[in-house]
Amino acid sequence: MPRSKNNPTLTNKQILQMRSEIQKRYRKIKLSITEYLNLSLGYYAKEPTKTAIFIDNNLYVVNASVNYTIDGNQLARVLTRIQEIVDENLINGGIEKFWAGKFVADMYQMGTNRAFQNLSTQSPLYSQATSLESLLFSDAYIRRIGLAYTATFNDWKGLADNLKSELNSVLSGAVARGINPRETADIISKRIDISHSRAKALAQTEQVGALRQATWDETRRTQEELGLKTGLLHMSALKPNSRATHVARHGKIYTVEQVEEWYEENGNRFNCYCAQVAVLLNEKGEPYNQSSVDRLLKEADEWEEQTKRASKNEVKT
Ligand SMILES: [Zn+2]
């Protein structure tokens, strides 16, 4: 039975690795775009006026103090190059060699490995019938890794498209209205930072999601192919900012279908640090190790008590 309280998914290291890769890529986007625009946008000063530009519901009030000297065709070429820079850094390699796919697939493998270890210690029948090699080279496994690559690629393509369209609007607006190049660069930099934050959240959701998916898949396979009664034990990270609805499931056992449904609802899958652990159940559908489960249920109660106390203190001060 799992013990780690603060990080049941034990994924921090992998999440930080992917984050630093993302940071490297976004730095390069910013640097390349800034350098390129400095070289390719000619302008001369004019009488300054105030103007405003809306990007994705954000209003930027800026100074229109220049006339840009590029024509429509030249602008089109500049915009194309900006789009290329974004793509080169976020979705290069295509689906097959996708950089982010590798991180997500690694998490899927880690999840499969963990579910395997977990079920092996709980059931001699399982450990006799299953080897880790047979799992990792099975058709089902290879197909799922392929699905993970495709899903991840699509997510990142969406993110890249969104950034491209925002940079497009900023630049077209800036050139049309003669917005000061320094302020234009500033808005571009802010939009890149916002996309960077989205990318970090996306990566976390994908990585932890793949880890969970692997557990669900192996739990289901154990039930269907080996006929062993299994369930998923929910474990919250019990962080101070965990959602109460997530903590309420801590120590409770669900079917794979119930867990999948729950993750489709109310944005539960976003920013979720919860984990599920495959557990073997008896004929009545109860876990063999009830005392471990009781301990988890007690932890959930304690979290609730602490959270109540903390919110009371906040009101007082
Ligand atoms: Zn959660």
What b/e sequence results for 61-94 when a residue is b if at least 16 CB atoms lie within 10 Å of its CB, and e otherwise? Answer: ebebbbebeeeeeebeebbeebbebbeebbbeee
Ligand 1 centroid–CA 238 distance in Å is 9
Ligand 1 centroid–CA 147 distance in Å is 23
pLDDT for position 35: 96
The SS3 call for residue 255 is coil
Nearest 10 degrees: Cα torsion 254, 257, 263, 266? -100
User: Which of the residues in the chain have pLDDT under 50?
Assistant: 3-6, 317
Give the type of residue at 193: D
Rg, Å, the chain Cα set = 25
Ligand 1 centroid–CA 36 distance in Å is 42
Ligand 1 centroid–CA 92 distance in Å is 31
Give the type of residue at 271: N
pLDDT for position 315: 58
Ion ligand 1 contact residues with beta carbon within 5 A? 246, 272, 274
CB atoms within 10 A of CB 140: 12
pLDDT for position 6: 47
Inter-residue contact 223 to 229 (CB < 8 Å) = yes
What digits encode the pLDDT tens for the residues 130-177?
999 999 999 999 999 999 999 999 999 999 999 999 999 999 999 999
pLDDT for position 195: 98
Ligand 1 centroid–CA 85 distance in Å is 35
Q: Which residues contact 109 (CB under 8 A, 6 or more apart)?
A: 136, 145, 214
Instruction: Look at the chain and count its residues.
Output: 317
Ligand 1 centroid–CA 119 distance in Å is 23
Ligand 1 centroid–CA 236 distance in Å is 6
pLDDT for position 114: 92
Ligand 1 centroid–CA 280 distance in Å is 22
d(CA 262, CA 244): 14
Ligand 1 centroid–CA 206 distance in Å is 14
Ligand 1 centroid–CA 293 distance in Å is 18
pLDDT for position 317: 47
